[in-house]
Amino acid sequence: MSQKEVRVRIAPSPTGDPHVGTAYVALFNYAFARRHGGKFILRIEDTDRARSTTASEEAIIRALRWLGLDWDEGPDKGGPHGPYRQSERGTIYREHAEMLIERGHAYRCFCTPERLAELRGEQQKAKASKMGYDGKCRSLSPEEADERGRGGESFTVRLKMPQEGETVLLDGLRGEIRIPNEQSDDQVLLKSDGMPTYHLANVVDDHLMGISHVIRAEEWISSAPKHLRLYEAFGWEPATFLHLPLLRNNDKNKSKISKRRNPVSLDYYRDTGIIPEAMVNFLALMGWSYGEDQEKFSLEQMVERFDLKEGSVSLSGPVFDLDKLSWLNGLYMRELSDEGLVDALMGWRVNRDYLLRLAPLVRDRIQRFDEFLPLISYCFSGDIDYTPVAALLLPKKRKGGETGKMLERLLDKLDAMPAFEVSAMEETFRLFCEGEEWSTREVFMTVRVGLTGRKASPGLFETMEVIGRELTRRRLRLAANFLKQYKG
Ligand code: GLU
Protein backbone atom coordinates (compact mmCIF):
# COMPACT_ATOMS: atom_id res chain seq x y z
CA MET A 1 0.00 0.00 0.00
CA SER A 2 1.19 3.52 -0.74
CA GLN A 3 2.23 5.73 2.12
CA LYS A 4 -0.53 8.28 1.71
CA GLU A 5 -2.91 8.75 4.58
CA VAL A 6 -5.86 6.38 4.51
CA ARG A 7 -9.09 8.33 4.24
CA VAL A 8 -12.27 6.46 3.38
CA ARG A 9 -15.93 7.32 3.38
CA ILE A 10 -19.45 6.07 3.41
CA ALA A 11 -21.63 8.19 1.14
CA PRO A 12 -25.28 7.25 1.59
CA SER A 13 -28.10 8.89 -0.30
CA PRO A 14 -30.82 9.73 2.22
CA THR A 15 -33.71 8.51 0.13
CA GLY A 16 -35.18 5.75 2.26
CA ASP A 17 -34.64 3.41 5.17
CA PRO A 18 -31.20 2.90 6.68
CA HIS A 19 -30.23 -0.06 4.51
CA VAL A 20 -28.23 -3.08 5.69
CA GLY A 21 -26.10 -2.67 2.56
CA THR A 22 -25.06 0.80 3.77
CA ALA A 23 -24.11 -0.65 7.14
CA TYR A 24 -22.13 -3.42 5.47
CA VAL A 25 -20.12 -1.01 3.31
CA ALA A 26 -19.73 1.36 6.27
CA LEU A 27 -18.35 -1.45 8.40
CA PHE A 28 -15.69 -2.44 5.87
CA ASN A 29 -14.70 1.20 5.42
CA TYR A 30 -14.60 1.70 9.18
CA ALA A 31 -12.46 -1.39 9.78
CA PHE A 32 -10.09 -0.43 6.98
CA ALA A 33 -9.66 3.09 8.34
CA ARG A 34 -9.10 1.92 11.91
CA ARG A 35 -6.70 -0.82 10.84
CA HIS A 36 -4.54 1.69 8.99
CA GLY A 37 -4.82 4.51 11.50
CA GLY A 38 -6.76 6.54 8.94
CA LYS A 39 -9.97 8.51 8.92
CA PHE A 40 -13.53 7.40 8.26
CA ILE A 41 -15.86 10.05 6.86
CA LEU A 42 -19.61 10.28 6.53
CA ARG A 43 -20.82 12.23 3.51
CA ILE A 44 -24.49 12.68 2.73
CA GLU A 45 -25.18 12.47 -1.00
CA ASP A 46 -28.44 14.33 -1.18
CA THR A 47 -28.25 15.92 -4.61
CA ASP A 48 -31.47 14.19 -5.64
CA ARG A 49 -33.61 16.86 -4.05
CA ALA A 50 -36.90 15.21 -4.93
CA ARG A 51 -36.09 11.96 -3.13
CA SER A 52 -33.80 13.04 -0.31
CA THR A 53 -35.32 13.67 3.10
CA THR A 54 -34.02 14.89 6.42
CA ALA A 55 -35.89 12.05 8.13
CA SER A 56 -33.94 9.53 6.08
CA GLU A 57 -30.63 11.24 6.84
CA GLU A 58 -31.43 11.19 10.55
CA ALA A 59 -32.45 7.53 10.40
CA ILE A 60 -29.19 6.59 8.65
CA ILE A 61 -27.10 8.48 11.20
CA ARG A 62 -29.06 6.93 14.09
CA ALA A 63 -28.64 3.43 12.66
CA LEU A 64 -24.88 3.76 12.04
CA ARG A 65 -24.47 5.05 15.59
CA TRP A 66 -26.53 2.16 16.92
CA LEU A 67 -24.01 -0.16 15.31
CA GLY A 68 -21.13 1.75 16.87
CA LEU A 69 -19.55 2.67 13.54
CA ASP A 70 -18.38 6.07 14.53
CA TRP A 71 -16.96 8.47 11.97
CA ASP A 72 -14.29 11.13 12.30
CA GLU A 73 -15.77 13.77 10.01
CA GLY A 74 -19.34 14.26 8.91
CA PRO A 75 -22.27 16.67 8.72
CA ASP A 76 -22.94 16.33 12.44
CA LYS A 77 -19.28 16.56 13.44
CA GLY A 78 -17.74 18.94 10.97
CA GLY A 79 -14.12 18.55 9.89
CA PRO A 80 -11.56 20.22 7.68
CA HIS A 81 -13.22 19.38 4.36
CA GLY A 82 -16.84 20.35 4.98
CA PRO A 83 -19.61 20.84 4.34
CA TYR A 84 -20.26 17.10 4.33
CA ARG A 85 -23.74 17.36 2.86
CA GLN A 86 -23.70 17.65 -0.91
CA SER A 87 -26.73 19.92 -1.07
CA GLU A 88 -24.56 22.54 0.66
CA ARG A 89 -21.76 22.32 -1.90
CA GLY A 90 -23.56 23.48 -5.04
CA THR A 91 -21.10 26.24 -5.92
CA ILE A 92 -18.17 23.84 -5.79
CA TYR A 93 -19.79 21.54 -8.34
CA ARG A 94 -20.78 24.35 -10.68
CA GLU A 95 -17.25 25.73 -10.61
CA HIS A 96 -15.84 22.31 -11.37
CA ALA A 97 -18.24 21.72 -14.25
CA GLU A 98 -17.23 25.08 -15.65
CA MET A 99 -13.58 24.12 -15.34
CA LEU A 100 -14.20 21.02 -17.45
CA ILE A 101 -16.03 23.00 -20.13
CA GLU A 102 -13.14 25.43 -20.33
CA ARG A 103 -10.66 22.60 -20.73
CA GLY A 104 -12.75 21.00 -23.46
CA HIS A 105 -13.60 17.88 -21.44
CA ALA A 106 -17.26 18.69 -21.04
CA TYR A 107 -19.86 20.51 -23.10
CA ARG A 108 -23.24 22.16 -22.79
CA CYS A 109 -26.10 20.04 -24.08
CA PHE A 110 -29.29 21.75 -25.18
CA CYS A 111 -31.27 18.64 -26.03
CA THR A 112 -34.73 18.86 -24.53
CA PRO A 113 -36.20 16.14 -22.32
CA GLU A 114 -38.63 15.45 -25.20
CA ARG A 115 -35.83 14.81 -27.66
CA LEU A 116 -34.07 12.52 -25.20
CA ALA A 117 -37.29 10.58 -24.57
CA GLU A 118 -37.80 10.21 -28.30
CA LEU A 119 -34.22 9.03 -28.73
CA ARG A 120 -34.67 6.46 -25.99
CA GLY A 121 -37.88 5.26 -27.61
CA GLU A 122 -36.19 4.85 -30.98
CA GLN A 123 -33.23 3.02 -29.48
CA GLN A 124 -35.53 0.67 -27.62
CA LYS A 125 -37.58 -0.01 -30.73
CA ALA A 126 -34.49 -0.67 -32.82
CA LYS A 127 -33.04 -2.76 -29.96
CA ALA A 128 -29.92 -0.64 -30.46
CA SER A 129 -26.71 -2.14 -29.14
CA LYS A 130 -25.69 1.23 -27.76
CA MET A 131 -28.28 2.97 -25.63
CA GLY A 132 -27.92 6.43 -24.17
CA TYR A 133 -27.15 9.88 -25.43
CA ASP A 134 -26.11 10.10 -29.08
CA GLY A 135 -23.69 13.00 -28.62
CA LYS A 136 -25.62 15.52 -30.73
CA CYS A 137 -24.43 18.62 -28.85
CA ARG A 138 -20.87 17.40 -28.59
CA SER A 139 -20.15 18.90 -31.98
CA LEU A 140 -21.46 22.40 -31.17
CA SER A 141 -18.67 24.94 -31.26
CA PRO A 142 -17.80 26.32 -27.82
CA GLU A 143 -18.72 29.82 -29.09
CA GLU A 144 -22.18 28.76 -30.18
CA ALA A 145 -22.76 26.84 -26.96
CA ASP A 146 -21.61 29.83 -24.88
CA GLU A 147 -23.90 32.13 -26.73
CA ARG A 148 -26.95 29.90 -26.43
CA GLY A 149 -26.22 29.40 -22.73
CA ARG A 150 -25.93 33.13 -22.15
CA GLY A 151 -29.13 33.66 -24.10
CA GLY A 152 -31.00 31.81 -21.39
CA GLU A 153 -31.56 28.50 -23.18
CA SER A 154 -31.78 25.63 -20.75
CA PHE A 155 -28.85 23.18 -20.80
CA THR A 156 -27.15 20.37 -19.00
CA VAL A 157 -23.40 19.79 -18.89
CA ARG A 158 -22.11 16.48 -20.22
CA LEU A 159 -18.78 14.75 -19.88
CA LYS A 160 -16.95 13.85 -23.08
CA MET A 161 -16.32 10.13 -22.81
CA PRO A 162 -13.92 8.40 -25.17
CA GLN A 163 -15.99 6.60 -27.78
CA GLU A 164 -13.58 3.81 -28.55
CA GLY A 165 -11.18 1.60 -26.70
CA GLU A 166 -11.62 0.44 -23.15
CA THR A 167 -11.13 1.64 -19.62
CA VAL A 168 -8.99 -0.46 -17.36
CA LEU A 169 -10.03 -0.35 -13.75
CA LEU A 170 -7.52 -1.71 -11.31
CA ASP A 171 -9.80 -2.85 -8.52
CA GLY A 172 -8.08 -3.50 -5.20
CA LEU A 173 -10.18 -6.63 -4.61
CA ARG A 174 -10.81 -7.84 -8.11
CA GLY A 175 -7.70 -7.00 -10.06
CA GLU A 176 -7.96 -5.68 -13.60
CA ILE A 177 -11.44 -5.05 -14.95
CA ARG A 178 -11.70 -4.00 -18.59
CA ILE A 179 -14.81 -2.12 -19.63
CA PRO A 180 -15.39 -1.15 -23.30
CA ASN A 181 -15.84 2.61 -23.56
CA GLU A 182 -18.81 2.24 -25.85
CA GLN A 183 -20.75 1.12 -22.79
CA SER A 184 -20.51 4.62 -21.32
CA ASP A 185 -22.33 7.51 -22.96
CA ASP A 186 -21.63 11.18 -22.35
CA GLN A 187 -22.76 11.39 -18.76
CA VAL A 188 -24.72 14.41 -17.54
CA LEU A 189 -22.64 16.11 -14.87
CA LEU A 190 -24.78 19.12 -14.13
CA LYS A 191 -28.55 19.08 -14.52
CA SER A 192 -30.47 21.95 -16.06
CA ASP A 193 -31.33 23.28 -12.59
CA GLY A 194 -27.63 23.59 -11.82
CA MET A 195 -27.60 20.57 -9.49
CA PRO A 196 -24.83 18.04 -10.00
CA THR A 197 -25.47 14.39 -10.75
CA TYR A 198 -24.13 11.69 -8.49
CA HIS A 199 -21.07 11.18 -10.72
CA LEU A 200 -19.75 14.73 -10.65
CA ALA A 201 -20.46 15.39 -6.99
CA ASN A 202 -19.07 12.04 -5.92
CA VAL A 203 -15.72 12.38 -7.71
CA VAL A 204 -15.23 16.07 -6.89
CA ASP A 205 -15.90 15.38 -3.24
CA ASP A 206 -13.77 12.27 -3.08
CA HIS A 207 -10.90 14.33 -4.41
CA LEU A 208 -11.48 17.45 -2.31
CA MET A 209 -12.01 15.36 0.81
CA GLY A 210 -8.75 13.54 0.19
CA ILE A 211 -10.35 10.10 -0.13
CA SER A 212 -7.58 7.57 -0.70
CA HIS A 213 -9.70 4.43 -1.15
CA VAL A 214 -13.21 4.24 -2.53
CA ILE A 215 -14.68 1.14 -0.91
CA ARG A 216 -18.21 0.64 -2.18
CA ALA A 217 -20.67 -1.89 -3.55
CA GLU A 218 -20.21 -3.86 -6.73
CA GLU A 219 -23.13 -2.13 -8.42
CA TRP A 220 -20.91 0.93 -8.97
CA ILE A 221 -18.34 -0.89 -11.11
CA SER A 222 -20.10 0.17 -14.28
CA SER A 223 -19.82 3.83 -13.21
CA ALA A 224 -16.10 3.55 -12.59
CA PRO A 225 -15.04 4.41 -16.19
CA LYS A 226 -16.90 7.71 -15.90
CA HIS A 227 -15.27 8.37 -12.56
CA LEU A 228 -11.79 7.55 -13.81
CA ARG A 229 -12.41 9.79 -16.80
CA LEU A 230 -13.38 12.61 -14.47
CA TYR A 231 -10.20 12.24 -12.42
CA GLU A 232 -8.22 12.33 -15.64
CA ALA A 233 -10.07 15.36 -17.01
CA PHE A 234 -9.41 17.28 -13.79
CA GLY A 235 -5.80 16.15 -13.77
CA TRP A 236 -6.17 14.42 -10.40
CA GLU A 237 -4.69 11.19 -9.17
CA PRO A 238 -7.56 8.74 -8.81
CA ALA A 239 -8.39 7.01 -5.55
CA THR A 240 -7.94 3.25 -5.31
CA PHE A 241 -11.24 1.54 -6.02
CA LEU A 242 -12.44 -1.55 -4.17
CA HIS A 243 -15.85 -2.96 -5.00
CA LEU A 244 -17.43 -5.17 -2.37
CA PRO A 245 -19.81 -7.96 -3.37
CA LEU A 246 -23.54 -7.33 -3.17
CA LEU A 247 -25.43 -9.06 -0.40
CA ARG A 248 -27.72 -11.81 -1.64
CA ASN A 249 -31.04 -13.25 -0.58
CA ASN A 250 -30.97 -16.75 0.78
CA ASP A 251 -32.77 -18.24 -2.20
CA LYS A 252 -32.02 -20.46 -5.14
CA ASN A 253 -31.02 -17.68 -7.54
CA LYS A 254 -29.07 -15.81 -4.90
CA SER A 255 -30.76 -12.64 -6.07
CA LYS A 256 -29.60 -9.24 -4.88
CA ILE A 257 -30.93 -8.56 -1.41
CA SER A 258 -34.33 -6.93 -1.61
CA LYS A 259 -37.08 -5.94 0.71
CA ARG A 260 -39.48 -8.39 -0.92
CA ARG A 261 -37.40 -11.22 0.45
CA ASN A 262 -35.60 -9.91 3.49
CA PRO A 263 -36.07 -6.93 5.72
CA VAL A 264 -33.38 -4.53 4.53
CA SER A 265 -33.87 -1.74 7.03
CA LEU A 266 -31.56 -1.71 10.02
CA ASP A 267 -34.52 -0.51 12.05
CA TYR A 268 -36.13 -3.91 11.58
CA TYR A 269 -33.18 -5.60 13.24
CA ARG A 270 -33.17 -3.09 16.08
CA ASP A 271 -36.93 -3.54 16.56
CA THR A 272 -36.71 -7.33 16.66
CA GLY A 273 -34.06 -7.27 19.36
CA ILE A 274 -30.85 -7.93 17.51
CA ILE A 275 -27.87 -6.86 19.57
CA PRO A 276 -25.84 -4.30 17.59
CA GLU A 277 -22.57 -6.14 18.24
CA ALA A 278 -24.12 -9.29 16.77
CA MET A 279 -25.33 -7.37 13.73
CA VAL A 280 -21.82 -5.99 13.16
CA ASN A 281 -20.33 -9.46 13.58
CA PHE A 282 -22.86 -10.87 11.12
CA LEU A 283 -22.10 -8.17 8.53
CA ALA A 284 -18.38 -8.77 8.98
CA LEU A 285 -18.92 -12.38 7.90
CA MET A 286 -20.30 -11.24 4.56
CA GLY A 287 -17.37 -12.16 2.37
CA TRP A 288 -14.68 -11.75 5.03
CA SER A 289 -13.48 -14.23 7.56
CA TYR A 290 -11.64 -13.83 10.79
CA GLY A 291 -9.78 -17.08 10.32
CA GLU A 292 -9.52 -20.37 12.17
CA ASP A 293 -13.22 -20.96 11.50
CA GLN A 294 -14.02 -18.50 14.26
CA GLU A 295 -17.38 -16.94 13.51
CA LYS A 296 -17.91 -14.90 16.62
CA PHE A 297 -15.60 -11.94 17.06
CA SER A 298 -15.81 -8.34 18.16
CA LEU A 299 -15.34 -5.22 16.08
CA GLU A 300 -11.99 -4.64 17.79
CA GLN A 301 -10.86 -8.13 16.89
CA MET A 302 -11.97 -7.58 13.32
CA VAL A 303 -10.01 -4.33 13.10
CA GLU A 304 -6.85 -6.07 14.31
CA ARG A 305 -6.90 -8.55 11.46
CA PHE A 306 -8.73 -6.65 8.76
CA ASP A 307 -7.27 -5.72 5.43
CA LEU A 308 -8.51 -5.35 1.90
CA LYS A 309 -6.49 -6.77 -0.91
CA GLU A 310 -7.07 -9.21 -3.71
CA GLY A 311 -8.30 -12.46 -2.24
CA SER A 312 -9.20 -11.05 1.17
CA VAL A 313 -12.92 -10.84 0.41
CA SER A 314 -14.85 -13.65 -1.20
CA LEU A 315 -16.61 -12.08 -4.15
CA SER A 316 -19.14 -14.78 -4.86
CA GLY A 317 -22.03 -13.00 -3.19
CA PRO A 318 -22.40 -13.37 0.55
CA VAL A 319 -25.79 -14.65 1.62
CA PHE A 320 -27.80 -12.64 4.07
CA ASP A 321 -29.18 -15.51 6.10
CA LEU A 322 -31.55 -14.46 8.88
CA ASP A 323 -31.30 -17.81 10.67
CA LYS A 324 -27.59 -17.35 10.94
CA LEU A 325 -28.07 -13.85 12.32
CA SER A 326 -30.45 -15.19 14.99
CA TRP A 327 -28.00 -17.94 15.87
CA LEU A 328 -25.17 -15.42 16.24
CA ASN A 329 -27.39 -13.11 18.26
CA GLY A 330 -28.14 -16.03 20.57
CA LEU A 331 -24.42 -16.41 21.26
CA TYR A 332 -24.20 -12.76 22.25
CA MET A 333 -27.33 -13.03 24.38
CA ARG A 334 -25.95 -15.96 26.33
CA GLU A 335 -22.93 -13.93 27.29
CA LEU A 336 -25.03 -11.33 29.03
CA SER A 337 -25.46 -11.54 32.77
CA ASP A 338 -29.03 -11.52 34.07
CA GLU A 339 -28.59 -7.83 34.78
CA GLY A 340 -27.16 -7.23 31.35
CA LEU A 341 -30.04 -9.03 29.71
CA VAL A 342 -32.60 -7.04 31.65
CA ASP A 343 -30.83 -3.80 30.76
CA ALA A 344 -30.79 -4.84 27.11
CA LEU A 345 -34.49 -5.67 27.17
CA MET A 346 -35.24 -2.32 28.75
CA GLY A 347 -33.23 -0.60 26.06
CA TRP A 348 -35.36 -2.47 23.56
CA ARG A 349 -39.10 -2.45 24.27
CA VAL A 350 -39.61 -3.52 27.84
CA ASN A 351 -39.62 0.01 29.14
CA ARG A 352 -41.82 2.82 30.33
CA ASP A 353 -41.84 4.67 27.02
CA TYR A 354 -43.14 1.70 25.06
CA LEU A 355 -45.68 0.74 27.73
CA LEU A 356 -46.92 4.31 27.70
CA ARG A 357 -47.61 3.95 24.00
CA LEU A 358 -49.47 0.71 24.58
CA ALA A 359 -51.56 1.93 27.51
CA PRO A 360 -54.11 3.92 25.48
CA LEU A 361 -54.69 0.93 23.20
CA VAL A 362 -55.43 -1.43 26.01
CA ARG A 363 -56.84 0.45 28.96
CA ASP A 364 -60.52 0.32 28.01
CA ARG A 365 -60.39 -3.33 27.06
CA ILE A 366 -59.22 -4.89 30.27
CA GLN A 367 -60.43 -5.13 33.81
CA ARG A 368 -57.36 -6.42 35.55
CA PHE A 369 -53.64 -5.87 35.13
CA ASP A 370 -53.06 -9.53 34.35
CA GLU A 371 -54.89 -9.10 31.05
CA PHE A 372 -52.57 -6.35 29.88
CA LEU A 373 -49.61 -8.25 28.49
CA PRO A 374 -51.58 -11.17 27.01
CA LEU A 375 -53.74 -8.74 25.08
CA ILE A 376 -50.84 -7.08 23.32
CA SER A 377 -48.21 -9.81 23.41
CA TYR A 378 -47.79 -9.45 19.64
CA CYS A 379 -46.29 -6.02 20.30
CA PHE A 380 -43.32 -7.85 21.81
CA SER A 381 -43.10 -10.87 19.57
CA GLY A 382 -41.59 -11.60 16.18
CA ASP A 383 -42.98 -13.47 13.19
CA ILE A 384 -46.46 -14.95 13.46
CA ASP A 385 -47.46 -18.49 12.55
CA TYR A 386 -50.50 -18.11 10.31
CA THR A 387 -51.38 -21.79 10.02
CA PRO A 388 -53.76 -21.85 13.01
CA VAL A 389 -55.48 -18.63 11.90
CA ALA A 390 -55.54 -19.20 8.15
CA ALA A 391 -59.34 -19.25 8.03
CA LEU A 392 -59.40 -15.79 9.61
CA LEU A 393 -56.65 -14.36 7.43
CA LEU A 394 -58.46 -15.37 4.26
CA PRO A 395 -61.81 -13.61 3.76
CA LYS A 396 -64.75 -15.88 2.94
CA LYS A 397 -65.14 -16.66 -0.78
CA ARG A 398 -61.67 -15.34 -1.54
CA LYS A 399 -58.69 -17.25 -2.86
CA GLY A 400 -55.28 -17.19 -1.15
CA GLY A 401 -53.50 -15.95 -4.27
CA GLU A 402 -55.68 -12.91 -4.85
CA THR A 403 -55.65 -12.03 -1.15
CA GLY A 404 -51.87 -12.24 -1.02
CA LYS A 405 -51.61 -9.98 -4.04
CA MET A 406 -54.04 -7.50 -2.51
CA LEU A 407 -51.81 -7.36 0.59
CA GLU A 408 -48.78 -6.74 -1.62
CA ARG A 409 -50.51 -3.82 -3.30
CA LEU A 410 -51.36 -2.43 0.10
CA LEU A 411 -47.75 -2.89 1.20
CA ASP A 412 -46.59 -0.76 -1.72
CA LYS A 413 -48.92 1.99 -0.54
CA LEU A 414 -47.72 1.70 3.05
CA ASP A 415 -44.11 1.81 1.87
CA ALA A 416 -44.78 5.06 0.08
CA MET A 417 -46.01 6.77 3.27
CA PRO A 418 -43.38 9.23 4.49
CA ALA A 419 -44.50 9.06 8.12
CA PHE A 420 -45.99 5.96 9.69
CA GLU A 421 -48.74 7.68 11.65
CA VAL A 422 -52.39 6.99 12.39
CA SER A 423 -53.83 9.88 10.38
CA ALA A 424 -51.72 9.09 7.32
CA MET A 425 -52.62 5.42 7.64
CA GLU A 426 -56.35 6.18 7.74
CA GLU A 427 -56.01 8.15 4.55
CA THR A 428 -53.88 5.49 2.84
CA PHE A 429 -56.37 2.74 3.71
CA ARG A 430 -59.33 4.83 2.64
CA LEU A 431 -57.82 5.57 -0.75
CA PHE A 432 -56.67 1.98 -1.12
CA CYS A 433 -60.10 0.50 -0.42
CA GLU A 434 -61.73 2.99 -2.79
CA GLY A 435 -59.52 1.84 -5.62
CA GLU A 436 -60.00 -1.87 -4.98
CA GLU A 437 -62.68 -4.49 -5.44
CA TRP A 438 -62.27 -5.39 -1.81
CA SER A 439 -64.53 -4.29 0.99
CA THR A 440 -63.05 -2.38 3.89
CA ARG A 441 -64.19 -5.21 6.15
CA GLU A 442 -62.22 -7.79 4.17
CA VAL A 443 -59.08 -5.67 3.99
CA PHE A 444 -59.20 -4.81 7.69
CA MET A 445 -59.68 -8.39 8.79
CA THR A 446 -56.81 -9.71 6.69
CA VAL A 447 -54.51 -6.94 7.88
CA ARG A 448 -55.57 -7.36 11.51
CA VAL A 449 -54.93 -11.10 11.50
CA GLY A 450 -51.72 -10.64 9.52
CA LEU A 451 -50.46 -8.16 12.06
CA THR A 452 -51.63 -9.64 15.32
CA GLY A 453 -52.53 -13.26 14.56
CA ARG A 454 -55.91 -12.54 16.14
CA LYS A 455 -59.44 -11.75 15.15
CA ALA A 456 -59.86 -8.95 17.64
CA SER A 457 -57.30 -6.33 18.58
CA PRO A 458 -57.12 -2.72 19.67
CA GLY A 459 -57.47 -0.13 16.87
CA LEU A 460 -55.73 -1.33 13.75
CA PHE A 461 -53.93 1.89 12.85
CA GLU A 462 -52.91 2.55 16.44
CA THR A 463 -51.49 -0.98 16.58
CA MET A 464 -49.58 -0.46 13.36
CA GLU A 465 -48.15 2.82 14.59
CA VAL A 466 -47.00 1.28 17.86
CA ILE A 467 -45.37 -1.84 16.49
CA GLY A 468 -43.83 0.33 13.81
CA ARG A 469 -43.21 0.33 10.11
CA GLU A 470 -40.69 -2.48 10.10
CA LEU A 471 -42.69 -5.12 11.96
CA THR A 472 -45.83 -4.15 10.11
CA ARG A 473 -44.06 -4.54 6.81
CA ARG A 474 -42.47 -7.82 7.77
CA ARG A 475 -45.67 -9.43 9.05
CA LEU A 476 -47.82 -8.31 6.14
CA ARG A 477 -45.17 -9.55 3.73
CA LEU A 478 -45.08 -12.95 5.46
CA ALA A 479 -48.88 -13.06 5.53
CA ALA A 480 -48.95 -12.32 1.79
CA ASN A 481 -46.46 -15.11 1.11
CA PHE A 482 -48.42 -17.49 3.31
CA LEU A 483 -51.66 -16.68 1.50
CA LYS A 484 -50.15 -17.06 -1.93
CA GLN A 485 -49.12 -20.60 -1.09
CA TYR A 486 -52.20 -21.45 0.92
CA LYS A 487 -54.37 -24.23 -0.42
CA GLY A 488 -57.36 -23.93 1.86
N1 GLU B 1 -24.49 7.78 -2.93
C2 GLU B 1 -24.04 6.50 -3.40
C3 GLU B 1 -24.86 5.43 -2.70
O4 GLU B 1 -25.88 5.74 -2.22
C5 GLU B 1 -22.57 6.35 -3.11
C6 GLU B 1 -21.86 5.34 -3.95
C7 GLU B 1 -20.37 5.45 -3.75
O8 GLU B 1 -19.91 5.06 -2.67
O9 GLU B 1 -19.69 5.96 -4.62
O10 GLU B 1 -24.56 4.28 -2.61
Q: Is the CB of 378 under 6 A from ligand 1?
A: no
| Mean pLDDT, residues 450-466 taken together | 95
Protein residue whose Cα sits closest to atom 3 of ligand 1: 12
259 labelled catalytic: yes
**pLDDT recorded at residue 444:** 96
Q: Assess if CATH 3.40.50.620 describes domain 7-86+247-326.
A: yes
Expressed in angstroms and rounded, the spacing between residue 384 Cα and the centre of ligand 1 is: 36
Q: Is the CB of 226 under 6 A from ligand 1?
A: no
Q: Is the CB of 202 under 6 A from ligand 1?
A: yes
Protein residue whose Cα sits closest to atom 8 of ligand 1: 216
Q: Is the CB of 13 under 6 A from ligand 1?
A: yes
According to CATH, where is 1.10.10.350 located in the chain? 387-485
| Mean pLDDT, residues 436-461 taken together | 95
**pLDDT recorded at residue 419:** 85
Q: What tens digit of pLDDT does each residue of 153-183 get?
A: 999 999 999 989 999 999 999 999 999 998 8
Which ligand 1 atom lies nearest to the CA of residue 12?
A: 4
Expressed in angstroms and rounded, the spacing between residue 44 Cα and the centre of ligand 1 is: 9
Q: How far is it, in rounded angstroms, from Cα 388 to Cα 265?
A: 29
Q: What tens digit of pLDDT does each residue of 223-239 get?
A: 999 999 999 999 999 99
Strands 175-180 and 166-171: antiparallel
Position 2 pLDDT exceeds 70: no
Judge contact between 122 and 81, C-beta under 8 A. Answer: no
Say which of 191, 254, 256, 259 is annotated catalytic.
259
Strands 39-42 and 7-10: parallel
Q: Is the CB of 213 under 6 A from ligand 1?
A: no
Q: What tens digit of pLDDT does each residue of 254-267 get?
A: 888 888 788 999 99
Which ligand 1 atom lies nearest to the CA of residue 22?
A: 10
Cα atoms in the 13 Å half-sphere on the side-chain side of 139: 3
> In a mutational test of the pocket of ligand 1, which residue from 8, 19, 20, 45 has the highest number of ligand atoms less than 8 Å from its CB?
45
Q: What tens digit of pLDDT does each residue of 306-327 get?
A: 999 999 999 988 999 999 999 9
Position 1 pLDDT exceeds 50: no
In sequence order, what are the residues at sequence separation of 6 or more whose Cβ sits closer than 8 angstroms to the Cβ of residue 251?
261
Protein residue whose Cα sits closest to atom 10 of ligand 1: 12
Judge contact between 322 and 250, C-beta under 8 A. Answer: yes
**pLDDT recorded at residue 3:** 62
According to CATH, where is 3.90.800.10 located in the chain? 89-244
Q: 387-485 architecture in CATH?
A: Orthogonal Bundle (1.10)
Q: Is the CB of 205 under 6 A from ligand 1?
A: no
Expressed in angstroms and rounded, the spacing between residue 216 Cα and the centre of ligand 1 is: 7
In sequence order, what are the residues at sequence separation of 6 or more whose Cβ sits closer than 8 angstroms to the Cβ of residue 322?
250, 262
> In a mutational test of the pocket of ligand 1, which residue from 7, 13, 203, 209 has the highest number of ligand atoms less than 8 Å from its CB?
13
Position 65 pLDDT exceeds 80: yes
Expressed in angstroms and rounded, the spacing between residue 29 Cα and the centre of ligand 1 is: 13
Q: How far is it, in rounded angstroms, from Cα 57 to Cα 10?
A: 13
In whole numbers, what is the pLDDT of the chain averaged over residues? Answer: 95
Judge contact between 85 and 48, C-beta under 8 A. Answer: no
Protein residue whose Cα sits closest to atom 5 of ligand 1: 11
CATH annotation of 89-244: 3.90.800.10
Expressed in angstroms and rounded, the spacing between residue 279 Cα and the centre of ligand 1 is: 22
According to CATH, where is 3.40.50.620 located in the chain? 7-86+247-326
Tell me which residue of 257, 253, 260, 247 sits closest to 478, measured CA to CA: 260
Expressed in angstroms and rounded, the spacing between residue 323 Cα and the centre of ligand 1 is: 29
Report the b/e string of 168-203 with b at 16+ CB within 10 A. Answer: ebebbbbeebebeeeebbbbbbbbeeebbbbbbbbb
> In a mutational test of the pocket of ligand 1, which residue from 27, 206, 220 has the highest number of ligand atoms less than 8 Å from its CB?
220
Which ligand 1 atom lies nearest to the CA of residue 10?
A: 8
| Mean pLDDT, residues 75-87 taken together | 97
Q: What tens digit of pLDDT does each residue of 339-355 get?
A: 999 999 999 999 999 99
> Beta partners for 39?
7
Position 145 pLDDT exceeds 70: yes
Expressed in angstroms and rounded, the spacing between residue 301 Cα and the centre of ligand 1 is: 27
Tell me which residue of 128, 135, 140 sits closest to 164, measured CA to CA: 135
This prediction has a pTM of 0.93
